[in-house]
Structure 1
Amino acid sequence: MSARISITLEEMVVLKAEARGFSFLPRQPVSSLLSGKHASRLRGRGLTFEELRHYHAGDDIRLIDWKATARLRSTHVRVFKEERERPVLLIVDQRTPMFFGSRRAMKSVVAAELTALGAWRTLDTDDRVGGIIFNEQEISEVRPHRSQSRVLQLFHEVSRFNKALTEEPQPRGNVQLNDALAAALQVARHDYLVVLISDLDGADAETKRLATLIAARNDMLVVAVYDPLGASLIGSFGMVATDRGRSWDIPAERAFADHFQQSFQNRVHEWVDIFRNLKVPVMPISTAAPAVEQIRSLFGQRGASR
């Protein structure tokens, strides 16, 4: 079965019905590449102090304010309320390396699907959502807003960039991953959730520096889109790969496949090294399975089904 090569605005709109059963702000996504001793530092929504009041049966004893209790000579608790807003900024990679897929869809299409699911889910929780969409030629910014019209504007830009990948090769540009992260820094000043949706092609030390600046004042999440063929060529001996009319044979030697797989593993280790110290979760999403199923598996939580 050939991979789906593009996505339309209408197809992104239809995904609204699927945008349920998950949240981008769990305490620790269960399948993060950083799970274990390198726990996620995703804070979720912050809490602000609301009032000091008498203790009532059933109150969480961890909320008892012992200083106030001693001073007032009766048990008091501190009551907090959840912050009302957590704007979301989606950084969407539509560069040429994303135009690859061996199974269900191209990485670029999966990134667009994830964008649609994330945007609809954010709007459903009454938060602002916007995006930074980029390819080698340009960066497009859609400022976060709490409206369906802004979501449709975001989808229009993503679908425009996505369609460009199916057309004749564009003049070579100089825009890279780090340029998109730098643009995101200008939008996400503080208390945002910044979600990078990319195959992380070209990630380097500068990526780490920019991610450090973003994560210092915001929550950050990386959704690493990959294709199974890009992870391993075992079982693909003798295949012919094509790209815009060009084709090449995949060597049939096992040694070539082993080397290819090791190279992919090295890239994964590089991703983890970049984000480990920041405790930024790196969530792998495959092109081989429906994006919504993977999102629910990775980010599903009780109470996220509405």
Structure 2
Amino acid sequence: MNTVVSHEADGDGRVRVSLAELIALRSRVARLRLPPQDSRAMRVGNQSSRLYGRGMDYAESRAYQPGDDVRRLDWRLTARSGRLHTKLFQEEREGQLLILLDQHASMRFGTRVRFKSVQAAGAAALAAWYAVRAGERVGLMQFGGCTQLQRPRAGVHGALDVCGAIAKGDRTASVHRQPLSEALHHVIKLRHGANRVLLISDGQCSDELARNRLLEMMRHTAVRLLVVADALELISMPAGHYPIEHDGQRRTLVLQSIRQRESFQQSLGAGQARLAAMAQSLGIPFRVIDTAADPLESVSALLCDRGGRR
């Protein structure tokens, strides 16, 4: 896919995704100090494997065995030990990250700085740039509207493809509600080749069956979760009158008593609380960020396997 930045189609970065901003996030990731990569292991879930063969990277040497390729003799160790030794090389496997991005209508909401959908889009773009900088392929599946898989692709073009698809998905209005379990089942059935999955959602679409789907996915894939929430979903607001706009119509929300405010917050934040609790019970590393936060630290922490639970 050739990504072209169109000024007319580009968003404002607050209520609509700005493709230019998604692409510009590459420079922020470029300044990060990435952790050293373990080239001898490919992590799948909680398992790692060492693969030896005619690969690119030297792994170790062992005593010569009949049938070994004489071109791979370790002459230095042979000279020191007086016995023939053969160099073993590991097969290099490229990591692949698949980003699952929630595009439900509930994501198009925000009371601080930007909509949840815009915050999630920025986090997804950061993840894409992080992955390709770390030498991984990156792909994308958006759900909640048009469910379409973009298979992992290597290099800058892979990240650009993801950014372009995110911007296009943001312009597609949808009222279709897709349970998270259904989206996860769709991913499991597809042969996408990814060994890591980053799910970005506000949790409003999470359902009871999603827990089983996540368990199934975790058998073969390392799963990480970024929960995007609005400030109103995380804390009880002070008493007052709050103007709300929806579909071009303005309303005033009146919150006075403590019970009224707490009930409103718990109702509004039920989705993100449910999804975070599910991740915690399954041992999935996750982070919760609001719409005013900088997502870079959370994304990099999750993708370098330092993802703690908050």
With normalisation by structure 1, the TM-score equals: 0.72
- 1:198-277 to structure 2, matched below 5 A, reads 198-235=201-238, 237-253=240-256, 254-263=258-267, 267=271, 269-277=273-281
| 1:134 Cα offset (Å) | 2.1
Residue type of the alignment partner of 2:131:
T
After superposition, residues 169-184 of structure 1 pair within 5 angstroms as 170=174, 172-184=175-187
Look up the equivalent residue of 1:192 and give its one-letter code: N
Query: Who is 1:279 aligned against?
Result: 283
Higher alpha-carbon deviation: 229-238 or 121-130: 229-238
Residues in 2 aligned to 1:301 and 1:148: alpha-carbon distance in whole angstroms: 23
Matches within 5 A, 1:1-306: 4-20=14-30, 21=32, 43=46, 46-48=49-51, 50-51=59-60, 53=62, 84-136=93-145, 138-165=146-173, 170=174, 172-187=175-190, 192-235=195-238, 237-253=240-256, 254-263=258-267, 267=271, 269-295=273-299
2:75 maps to none
- In 1, Cα distance between equivalents of 2:208 and 2:36: 27
Q: CA deviation at 1:9?
A: 2.1
Q: What's the counterpart of residue 4 of structure 2?
A: none
CA distance in 1, matches of 2:27, 2:13: 23
CA drift of 1:190 comes to: 6.4
**3-state DSSP of counterpart to 2:283:** coil
Q: Please say if residues 103 and 144 of structure 2, whose CA atoms lie closer than 8 Å, have aligned partners that are also in contact.
A: yes
2-structure distance, mates of 1:282, 1:298: 7
8 Å CA contact retained: 2:123, 2:295: yes
Query: How many residue pairs get matched?
Result: 261
**Rounded Cα–Cα distance in structure 1 between residues aligned with 2:211 and 2:305:** 29
Alignment partner of 2:200: what SS?
strand
**Secondary structure of the corresponding residue to residue 102 of structure 1:** coil
User: SS in structure 2 opposite 1:217?
Assistant: coil
Instruction: Determine which structure has greater relative contact order: mean sequence separation of CA pairs < 8 Å that are 6+ residues apart, divided by chain length.
Output: 1
TM-aligned CA distance change 1:159 to 1:250, over 3 Å: same
Seen in structure 2, the aligned counterparts of structure 1 residues 181 and 51 have a Cα distance that, compared at 3 Å, is: same
2:78 corresponding residue in structure 1:
none
RMSD across aligned positions (CA): 3.6
Residues 177-186 or 206-215, more deviating? 177-186
| Residue 47 of structure 1, CA deviation | 3.9
Deviates more, 1:255-264 or 1:105-114: 255-264
Q: CA deviation at 1:273?
A: 4.0
SS at match of 1:238: strand
Aligned partner of 2:112: which letter?
Answer: R
What SS does the corresponding residue of 2:171 show, helix, strand or coil?
helix
Give the aligned residue type for 1:287.
T
Does the 8 Å CA contact 1:104/1:289 hold for their aligned counterparts? no
Distance verdict in 2 for CA 1:272–1:103, change over 3 Å: closer
Match of 1:66 in 2: none
User: Larger C-alpha radius of gyration, 1 or 2?
Assistant: 2
Task: Measure, in 2, the Cα distance between the counterparts of 1:45 and 1:266.
Answer: 36
Change (3 A) 1:277 1:175: closer
How big is the shift at 1:105?
Answer: 1.2
Shift of 1:203: 1.0
Kept in 2: contact 1:102–1:228 (CA 8 A): yes
> For structure 2, which runs of at least 5 residues remain unmatched after alignment?
1-11, 38-43, 53-58, 64-87
In the TM superposition, residue 276 of structure 1 has moved relative to its aligned partner by: 3.4
Hey, what's the Cα distance between the residues in 2 that align with 1:83 and 1:276?
Answer: 33
CA gap 1:110/1:266 in 2 versus in 1, 3 angstroms: closer
Identity of aligned residues (%): 23
Q: Which runs of 5+ in 1 are unaligned?
A: 27-40, 55-78
Write the distance in 2 (CA, Å) between the matches of 1:8 and 1:112: 9
